[in-house]
């Protein structure tokens, strides 16, 4: 890790922590500047985070998608990015920011504990499909995770005895959750397809039922079922939000759990 | 029976089946993929994970995966999806045949506006806003101001859904084709030693008869190149792969990681490589005990391999491609063959007689043997596969991703707008409808109404 990368990364982590504190404390204090400061700190953190990714990219000479540290660094960036787009277009989602930041910090924390030395791209990763596969993997992960955060927010604002706002825009939160799941599902499909094409060139087969492949399929099936529950069986509101919030476990196992409990993709050469 | 069929092909059952499949796959992924004939692996598993070993040996998960009970799950999903496609296609085709535009959908949002302009100006502004919102007008030429104006967008959305489900069917159809007709094996070729493929040297073949098109074809490798970054980190491996078919001129092409070659419909994928030192071993009388290329395992450097000599003695060989001595012990600074050295132990009846080192291009006397290490080549290990299911998977992937993109980007929506002359202007009634997302549609209806008002006001300011 270069000095500049370390400064940017730790600067981003500090800004995320401060933003998290400001945003999670804001409901308890009547200080209108607190959520505003939280959002501004989040923005600063995202800029620094993006800078750290760019510095890493320049330092290694390849997109930072190799190994646990680089994957966490890049993957964590997609959470505030996807949430930011939603928050910019639909202000109702802004109140879920502290949960998104908490998830971002957890992923970054997982990354900084891994080896961070600069290394060139290994031969198996030298494929044009790498970027497609990894970028869409993180889009899927980010979309599903932000969707579950919005679902949790929806469950909170529709809890028993929760005040009914005027106008009641809570159903929008519910629908945005499913828009994000739909987007995540498309990204997930592209991720699986591009991974299979890459595997065909690398290992001579497009599918081998290794634990990561299997769990990608499991997540895909679970989110496919999610969409079916919503679109064809008409689930909505709290029931659908619970489903969206719980489904995220599958994608967390796929991205972070498999390495702990089983073998991952076989490495070549 | 009809009721049972209807229930079996219902979407509710399809969703339940999908969830069961997800659950079964999730549990199956926890069980290690072990060949029951691999006794060493089984023993290792028994020692490290006794519960898993018990499950593998007694439940035989491989057998479960191939059992008709398990295969009935994807079969039912296939059946349910196919029936659902049939019903939806029939409805959609009927609608298109009758040239009917999409009717108002499940959810409706209504908005009323009072516009202080002429009906023509209001109509013009409405047209412009609908066009900007990517709505297509259903009726244009015969439209009168008394009739409601109907516009729709995302008409292809349903086609996207159909494409996705057809893709799913193709995928489910391709999986058994892969399972039945997929053939794979492994081939090892050393630099400078062409290998004529036969049943004997295509090892680990999943289906020996299926590999027969390769029999008689000679393959070779040469000009192996390994590229290292900063001297130690591997970044690329490549070699020239030659193919000679009986009675045909030879052909060659470069093979590298991620860049396989195709021979007789089989894919040759570079899977592993290693060093192949050329050795000559003579005894004290000058008798040649072995001469040729030894294929050595080299990962990690120092890994030992055995070479049997004439007469029954063996040599234990370990190669250090970039040799250095650290505290008197041989180590390799990298995998780059800068200064290769072989560490050799002469064994007789499993007992070490002598030990020594020999560098490339040198001759060393180790015990009573004279060992020449003349050059260092490479060997390549290829995975050889043919999978007719691949084409189904590729087609399915394209249909699934494209179908999903169309389905979710083009969400079917219908707008119905009624303009009625009112004192001081026009009364506009906007009904927007869609199958899903009523709250988002409300936002859109608000935006459409606001845009119409803005455009009318802008036009008014411009004319005054």
Residue B127, domain member (yes or no)? yes
Which residues of chain B make contact with A230, given a CB cutoff of 8 A? 436
Cβ-defined contact of A225 to B18 (cutoff 8 Å): yes
- Measured distance CA(B90)–CA(B96) in Å, rounded: 10
Range of the structural domain that residue B29 is part of = 2-69
Which residues of chain A make contact with B268, given a CB cutoff of 8 A? 204
In this predicted structure, the answer to whether residue A166 has a pLDDT above a threshold of 80 is no
What is the mean predicted confidence (pLDDT) over B74-98?
82
Cβ-defined contact of A119 to B439 (cutoff 8 Å): no
Compare CB distances from B437 to A120, A175, A222 and report the shortest one's residue: A175
Asked whether residue B331 falls in the same domain as residue B192, the answer is no
A175 touches chain B (CB under 8 A): yes
Residue B166, domain member (yes or no)? no
Residue B170, domain member (yes or no)? no
The string over A71-107, giving b where at least 16 C-beta atoms fall within 10 Å of a residue's C-beta and e elsewhere, is: bbbbbbbbbbbbbbebbeebebbbbbbbbbbbbbbeb
Residues forming a β-bridge with B1: none
Q: Model confidence over B410-421: pLDDT tens digits?
A: 778 888 888 888
Cβ-defined contact of B258 to A205 (cutoff 8 Å): no
In this predicted structure, the answer to whether residue A119 has a pLDDT above a threshold of 80 is no
- Measured distance CA(B164)–CA(A100) in Å, rounded: 31
Q: What pLDDT shows up at residue A120?
A: 65
Compare CB distances from B440 to A172, A189, A230 and report the shortest one's residue: A172
Range of the structural domain that residue A254 is part of = 122-269
- Measured distance CA(A226)–CA(A228) in Å, rounded: 5
Which residues of chain B make contact with A206, given a CB cutoff of 8 A? 387, 390, 393
Q: What pLDDT shows up at residue A16?
A: 93
Q: What pLDDT shows up at residue A260?
A: 61
Q: Which of B358, B380, B402 is the last residue of a domain?
A: B380
B63-67, B151-155, B452-456: range with lowest mean pLDDT: B63-67
Compare CB distances from A201 to B15, B184, B258 and report the shortest one's residue: B258
Q: For B347-382, what is the HEC assignment?
A: EECCEEEEEEEEECCEEEEECCEEEEEEEEEEEEEE
Cβ-defined contact of B18 to A211 (cutoff 8 Å): no
Asked whether residue A107 falls in the same domain as residue A49, the answer is yes
What is the mean predicted confidence (pLDDT) over B307-314?
85
Q: Which of A65, A92, A120 is the last residue of a domain?
A: A120
In this predicted structure, the answer to whether residue B41 has a pLDDT above a threshold of 50 is yes
How close B142 comes to chain A (CA, Å)? 36
Asked whether residue B256 falls in the same domain as residue B387, the answer is yes
Residue B83, domain member (yes or no)? no
Compare CB distances from B257 to A182, A258, A268 and report the shortest one's residue: A268
Asked whether residue B439 falls in the same domain as residue B308, the answer is no
How close A100 comes to chain B (CA, Å)? 22
Residue B93, domain member (yes or no)? no
What's the number of domains chain A is made of? 2
Compare CB distances from A268 to B271, B398, B439 and report the shortest one's residue: B271
Asked whether residue A159 falls in the same domain as residue A245, the answer is yes
Asked whether residue A153 falls in the same domain as residue A243, the answer is yes
For residue A48, name the pLDDT band (cuts at 50, 70, 90): very high
Residue B76, domain member (yes or no)? no
The pTM (predicted TM-score) of the whole model is 0.85
Q: What pLDDT shows up at residue A154?
A: 93
Asked whether residue B263 falls in the same domain as residue B296, the answer is no
Residues 10-69, chain B, touching A (beta carbon < 8 A): 11-12, 14-15, 18-19, 21-22, 25-26, 28-30, 32-33
Residues forming a β-bridge with B428: B113, B419
Asked whether residue B359 falls in the same domain as residue B321, the answer is yes
Asked whether residue B281 falls in the same domain as residue B342, the answer is yes
Q: Model confidence over B42-62: pLDDT tens digits?
A: 788 788 888 878 877 777 766
Please determine, for the modelled complex, whether the ipTM score is greater than 0.90.
no
Q: Which of B350, B366, B394 is the last residue of a domain?
A: B394
- Measured distance CA(A57)–CA(A118) in Å, rounded: 10
Cβ-defined contact of A204 to B385 (cutoff 8 Å): yes
Which residues of chain B make contact with A222, given a CB cutoff of 8 A? 19, 22
Which residues of chain A make contact with B269, given a CB cutoff of 8 A? 201-204
Which residues of chain A make contact with B400, given a CB cutoff of 8 A? 189, 193
Residue B173, domain member (yes or no)? no
Q: What percent of chain B has pLDDT over 90?
A: 9
What's the number of domains chain B is made of? 4
Cβ-defined contact of A175 to B32 (cutoff 8 Å): no
Compare CB distances from A262 to B30, B230, B235 and report the shortest one's residue: B30
What is the mean predicted confidence (pLDDT) over B408-432?
85
Asked whether residue B294 falls in the same domain as residue B364, the answer is yes
Which residues of chain A make contact with B405, given a CB cutoff of 8 A? 186
Asked whether residue A221 falls in the same domain as residue A104, the answer is no
Asked whether residue B270 falls in the same domain as residue B282, the answer is no
Q: Is B133 exposed, middle or buried (0-12, 13-18, 19+ CB in 10 A)?
A: middle
Compare CB distances from B30 to A174, A198, A261 and report the shortest one's residue: A261
Asked whether residue A128 falls in the same domain as residue A258, the answer is yes
Q: What pLDDT shows up at residue A150?
A: 94
Asked whether residue B328 falls in the same domain as residue B355, the answer is yes
- Measured distance CA(A192)–CA(A219) in Å, rounded: 11
B395 touches chain A (CB under 8 A): no
Residue B60, domain member (yes or no)? yes
Q: What pLDDT shows up at residue B276?
A: 84
Asked whether residue B279 falls in the same domain as residue B376, the answer is yes
Residues 189-218, chain A, touching B (beta carbon < 8 A): 189-190, 192-193, 196-198, 200-207, 209-211, 214-215, 217-218
Residues 347-386, chain B, touching A (beta carbon < 8 A): 383-385
Of A249 and B1, which is predicted with more confidence? A249
- Measured distance CA(A265)–CA(B424) in Å, rounded: 72
Q: What pLDDT shows up at residue B139?
A: 63
Asked whether residue A126 falls in the same domain as residue A205, the answer is yes
Asked whether residue A189 falls in the same domain as residue A177, the answer is yes
Q: Which of A91, A120, A149 is the last residue of a domain?
A: A120
Cβ-defined contact of A225 to B15 (cutoff 8 Å): yes
Q: Could you tell me if B288 and B280 are in contact, meaning their C-beta atoms sit under 8 angstroms apart?
A: yes
Asked whether residue B287 falls in the same domain as residue B365, the answer is yes
Compare CB distances from B272 to A126, A229, A269 and report the shortest one's residue: A269
Asked whether residue A113 falls in the same domain as residue A214, the answer is no
A206 to chain B: closest CA residue? B390
Secondary structure of residue A113 in the 3-state scheme:
coil
Asked whether residue B302 falls in the same domain as residue B445, the answer is no
Q: Which of A120, A136, A171 is the last residue of a domain?
A: A120
Q: What pLDDT shows up at residue A266?
A: 43
Asked whether residue A202 falls in the same domain as residue A241, the answer is yes
DSSP string for B266-307: EEEEEEEEEEEEEEEEE-TT--EEEEEE-----SSTT-EEEE
In this predicted structure, the answer to whether residue B259 has a pLDDT above a threshold of 90 is no
Asked whether residue A152 falls in the same domain as residue A198, the answer is yes
């Amino acid at each position: 890790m270069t000095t500049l990368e370390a400064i940017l990364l730790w600067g981003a982590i500090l800004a995320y922590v401060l933003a998290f504190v400001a945003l999670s404390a804001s409901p308890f204090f009547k200080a209108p500047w607190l959520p505003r400061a939280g959002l501004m700190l989040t923005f600063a953190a995202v800029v620094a985070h993006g800078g750290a990714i760019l510095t890493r990219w320049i330092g290694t000479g390849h997109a930072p998608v190799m190994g646990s540290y680089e994957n966490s660094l890049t993957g964590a960036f997609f959470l505030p990015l996807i949430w930011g787009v939603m928050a910019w277009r639909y202000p109702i989602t802004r109140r879920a920011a502290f949960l998104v930041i908490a998830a971002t910090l957890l992923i970054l924390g997982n990354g900084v504990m891994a080896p961070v030395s600069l290394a060139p791209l290994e031969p198996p990763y030298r494929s044009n499909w790498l970027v497609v596969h990894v970028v869409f993997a993180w889009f899927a992960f980010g979309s599903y995770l932000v969707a579950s955060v919005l679902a949790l927010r929806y469950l909170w604002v529709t809890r028993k005895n929760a005040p009914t706002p005027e106008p009641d825009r809570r159903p929008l939160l519910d629908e945005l959750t499913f828009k994000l799941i739909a987007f995540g599902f498309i990204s997930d499909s592209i991720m699986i397809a591009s991974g299979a094409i890459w595997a065909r060139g690398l290992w001579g087969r497009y599918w081998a039922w290794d634990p990561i492949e299997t769990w990608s399929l499991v997540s895909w099936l679970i989110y496919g079922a999610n969409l079916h529950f919503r679109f064809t069986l008409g689930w909505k509101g709290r029931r659908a939000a619970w489903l969206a919030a719980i489904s995220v476990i599958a994608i967390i196992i796929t991205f972070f759990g498999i390495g702990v409990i089983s073998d991952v993709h076989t490495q070549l050469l | 029976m009809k009721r049972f069929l209807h229930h079996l092909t219902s979407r509710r059952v399809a969703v339940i089946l999908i969830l069961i499949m997800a659950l079964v796959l999730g549990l199956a992924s926890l069980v290690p993929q072990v060949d029951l004939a691999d006794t060493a692996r089984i023993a290792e598993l028994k020692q490290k994970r006794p519960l898993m070993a018990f499950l593998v040996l007694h439940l035989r998960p491989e057998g479960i995966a191939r059992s008709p009970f398990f295969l009935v799950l994807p079969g039912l999903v296939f059946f349910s999806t196919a029936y659902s496609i049939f019903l939806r296609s029939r409805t959609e085709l009927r609608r298109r045949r009758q040239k009917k535009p999409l009717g108002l959908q499940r959810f409706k949002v209504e908005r009323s506006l009072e516009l202080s302009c002429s009906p023509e100006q209001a109509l013009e502004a409405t047209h412009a806003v609908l066009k900007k919102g990517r709505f297509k007008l259903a009726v244009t030429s015969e439209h009168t101001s008394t009739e409601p104006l109907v516009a729709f967008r995302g008409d292809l959305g349903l086609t996207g859904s159909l494409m996705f489900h057809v893709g799913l069917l193709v995928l489910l159809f391709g999986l058994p084709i892969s399972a039945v007709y997929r053939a794979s094996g492994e081939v090892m070729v050393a630099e400078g030693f062409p290998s004529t493929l036969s049943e004997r040297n295509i090892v680990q073949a999943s289906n020996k008869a299926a590999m027969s098109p390769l029999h008689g074809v000679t393959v070779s490798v040469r000009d192996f190149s390994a590229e290292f970054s900063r001297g130690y980190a591997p970044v690329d491996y490549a070699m020239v792969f030659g193919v000679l078919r009986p009675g045909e001129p030879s052909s060659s092409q470069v093979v590298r990681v991620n860049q396989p070659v195709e021979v007789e419909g089989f894919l040759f994928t570079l899977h592993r490589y290693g060093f192949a030192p050329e050795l000559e071993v003579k005894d004290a009388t000058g008798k040649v005990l072995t001469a040729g290329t030894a294929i050595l395992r080299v990962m990690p450097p120092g890994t030992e391999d055995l070479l049997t000599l004439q007469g029954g003695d063996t040599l234990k060989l370990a190669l250090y491609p970039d040799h250095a001595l650290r505290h008197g012990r041989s180590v390799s600074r990298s995998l780059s063959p800068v200064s290769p050295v072989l560490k050799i132990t002469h064994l007789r009846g499993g007992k070490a007689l002598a030990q020594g080192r020999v560098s490339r291009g040198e001759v060393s006397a180790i015990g009573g043997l004279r060992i020449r290490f003349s050059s260092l080549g490479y060997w390549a290990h290829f995975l050889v596969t043919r999978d007719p299911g691949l084409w189904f998977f590729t087609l399915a992937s394209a249909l699934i991703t494209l179908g999903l993109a169309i389905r979710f980007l083009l969400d079917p929506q219908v707008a119905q707008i009624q303009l009625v002359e009112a004192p001081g202007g026009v009364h506009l009634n906007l009904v927007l409808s869609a199958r899903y997302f009523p709250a988002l549609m409300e936002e859109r209806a608000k935006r459409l109404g606001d845009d119409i008002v803005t455009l009318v006001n802008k036009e008014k300011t411009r004319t005054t």
